[in-house]
Amino acid sequence: MHIDIITVHPPLLESPFSHSILKRAAQKGLVTVNVVDLREYGIEPHRKVDDYAFGGGAGMVMMIEPIANCINDLKKQRTYDEVIYMTPDGETLKQNTCNHLSTLNNIMVLCGHYKGIDERIREHFITKEISIGDYVLSGGELPAAVLCDGIIRLIPGVLNDETSALSDSFQDNLLSPPVYTRPADYNGWKVPDILTSGNTKKVEEWRHEQSLERTKLRRPDLLL
């Protein structure tokens, strides 16, 4: 998979892709994440990428020309399955979206900033708009990192145990069950006996029951 991320602040994306699972995915050659500095396409002489909004109002707007030039330049190099804009008013990111995107080959992600981007970019270039929640951050870089993490970990070969992702919360519209590890008894706080019984069938039944109960208690909306 190839992912291009367009941003006005590339350093914000250095850490997420330099550690742990995302770093190993790149080292294995399973994904390439290319961070593109939008200012390289900025308007001379100062590589300007933002301007005042028509009609007035507080805040700056990311200009159409630098973004359009950047996207068109990237499209000369490959065909994209999705051109995604990270925005608070996009569709809320869910597990099934990550599942779908993880099957694609080439993705472009545009990080918004300031008061957003010129609407014409959304009308003519963007194929999908995604939000990570009903709140506003300083820019789209952290949401882009969240999105990429959710996608990349699902690519076959990224996780050491590929079945691990299948038991994550939300994969079957249920929250994950409680998990325990050694010691089985800590200060009198004991692991449920069923988990040390060795009865795989009973363990799976218990886990499903726990997932269902936890979902009913914490996220009943998932069961509707």
Residue ranges per domain, the chain? Answer: 2-152, 169-223
Please report where in the chains the tokens 């200012």 appear, as a residue: 39
Pick the CATH number of 2-152 from 2.40.340.10, 3.40.640.10, 3.20.20.150, 3.40.1280.10: 3.40.1280.10
What is the CATH code for 169-223? 1.10.1270.20
Residue 30 has a pLDDT of 98
- How far is Cα of residue 107 from the mean position of the Cα atoms in its chain? 12
* Residue ranges in the chain whose pLDDT is less than 50: none
Tell me the pLDDT tens digit for each residue of 153-182: 999 999 987 656 766 767 788 999 999 999
C-alpha closest to that of 180 among 160, 201, 161, 207? 207
Average pLDDT, the chain: 95
Residue found by looking up tokens 């990349």 in the block: 152
Please give the helix or strand (H or E) that residue 50 lies within, else none: strand 50-52
pLDDT score, position 18: 96
CA distance 103 to 210: 30
Q: 3-class SS at 39?
A: helix
Q: Can you give the pLDDT at residue 167?
A: 63
Strand partners, 84: 109, 128
pLDDT for 100 equals 97
